Amino acid sequence: MTKNTTTNYNTTAANRDTTLADTGLDHALTASASTLSDEQDLNKIATVKTSMGSHLQDWLAGLQQANDVLPAALRFAETHLQVSSQNSGAISLPLIEQLEALPVFALTVVLQKQALAAKLDSDSNSNSDSSNNDSDSTQAAAFAAHIENWAQQNDHWQMISVPHSARQADAAQTLAESAQDPTITPVITYNYILLPTEAVNMQAGKKAAAAHLIDDSMTAHLHQFIASLPISIDMGGDDTIDCHIVPLAKVLRPHRVICFDMDSTLIEQEVINELANKAGIGEQVSKITEAAMRGEIDFDTSFSQRVGLLQGLSTTVLDDIQHTLTLSAGARPLIRKLKAIGYHTVLVSGGFTYFADRIAQTLGIDEVHANILDIDSATGTVTGQVNLPIVNGERKAVLVQKIAKRFNISPAQVVCVGDGANDLAMMAVADIGIAYHAKPIVRARADAAINATGLEGVLYVLGYLPEALLSHG
């Protein structure tokens, strides 16, 4: 799923240097189109940390295999894929800008290992561990063959496997079985580059139509394989697989900031519902929410009405709720990894700072934006008054833009993650909008939708392997 965006890198060299210094980003990866002029375009660069750059090299090595169909300005030699400690280290922004206009996509398929295990359990007559391991590899290879069969059925498209130096996929299993985080979903990831088979079809105008065609066709194709597996509903059904089709330029672009919604994204609960239940106003709040969903009242009105119903609620109750909130699966290792590779992490919520500040502190998130829950200090109760401005969908988008401006970067270097309709506006201004176990309307309009894993799936959308979760840098 793709948004139609135009990237504008207008950061000056001075601002860029200051920004990178402020965020502690190192210099590592060099990748530039071989025909670009040093005087014209190669000074427009973005630096990346070594640990962030290694996975980009894999994708670029795959893209290099398509030199015969790429426009001349985007063809590059082996030397341009090397990490250089002497160069200031860059991935060429002009390369990304030109590539972004073309129908060249990163395909990442994420499959829960339990899906293959279910197939093995139904087929195997042996209890031998070695036999099971061999069968496991056979099933994984069979699924890869099924993915690649899509290209054989679509003559106008080629599928290039991204070389990962045989580093695949027991990493998430290892992490899940360790004490680090048992909430990680064991998966196997498959990475490919999709692009036309002929240079004549490598045109900017074909990108949008191609994205929709590939998305629908590939998803249907993968579900054919899933349908053959003995997967029960309690194992997730179709949600045992994620298929992310994102313009390759978005995977190559070095992002600097990532923004998360809180309720049903970073945490499993919707705090307003928890508050309503504790206050004994659950039915009233539900009616307001339903009216908002029908479009009878806007978000700000519904928010004000719901907060008003909380008048008199004690901070003791708030604290009780705060201690019952649970982090979403994969949240801890994801935030830890993102910070290690240089991301500035932000919590942007239509909820309340009373809860958001604690969640951010628990996860080590750098910055918080949420609504202030007005409390009477004399009585220790909620006043029911609303503090303006309300952090609604539009406000979230404004905040994302302001954060990008403060860091002297384009919104094209921002990623946003959320689950609800009020997250769509900030997803729209970001380079990559990721729907997390989201409502159908959000899944349809996001760049990628995570259903098969916890929040660690964000890394897979960005082109990383499960093994990235095992390293802290």
> Which residues participate in catalysis according to the annotation?
261, 263
Neighbours of 123 (CB within 10 A): 12
193 bridge partner residues: 106, 160
Rounded to whole angstroms, how far apart are CA atoms 179 and 15? 42
User: Of the candidates 396, 473, 465, 470, which has an alpha carbon nearest to the alpha carbon of residue 164?
Assistant: 465
Distance between CA atoms of 467 and 47, rounded to whole angstroms? 23
Residue 448, beta-bridge partner list: 434
Residues 6+ apart with CB under 8 A from 238: 223, 226
Binning the chain into helix, strand and coil, the percentages to the nearest 5 are: 50, 15, 35
- Measured CA to CA, the distance from residue 264 to residue 439 in angstroms comes to 11
Helix (H) or strand (E) holding 334: helix 331-340
Both tokens of residue 23? 């965020």
Q: How far apart are CA 363 and CA 358, in angstroms?
A: 9
DSSP character string of 107-143: EEEEEEHHHHHHHHHHH-----HHHHHHHHHHHHHHH
Question: Where are the extended beta strands (E) located within 290-447?
Answer: 344-352, 367-371, 373-376, 381-386, 414-418, 432-436
Which tokens sit at 313? 């609620």
**What are the contacts of 405-408 at 24+ separation with CB within 8 A?**
407/19, 407/22, 407/23, 407/256, 407/257, 407/344, 408/11, 408/15, 408/16, 408/18, 408/19
199 touches 72 (CB < 8 A): no
Long-range contacts of the stretch 381-384 (C-beta < 8 A, 24+)? 381/311, 381/312, 381/313, 381/314, 381/315, 382/307, 382/310, 382/311, 382/312, 382/313, 382/315, 382/318, 383/311, 384/307, 384/308, 384/309, 384/310, 384/311, 384/312
Amino acid at 184: I
**CA Rg value for the chain:** 23
Let me know: does 361 contact 327? Beta carbons within 8 Å: no
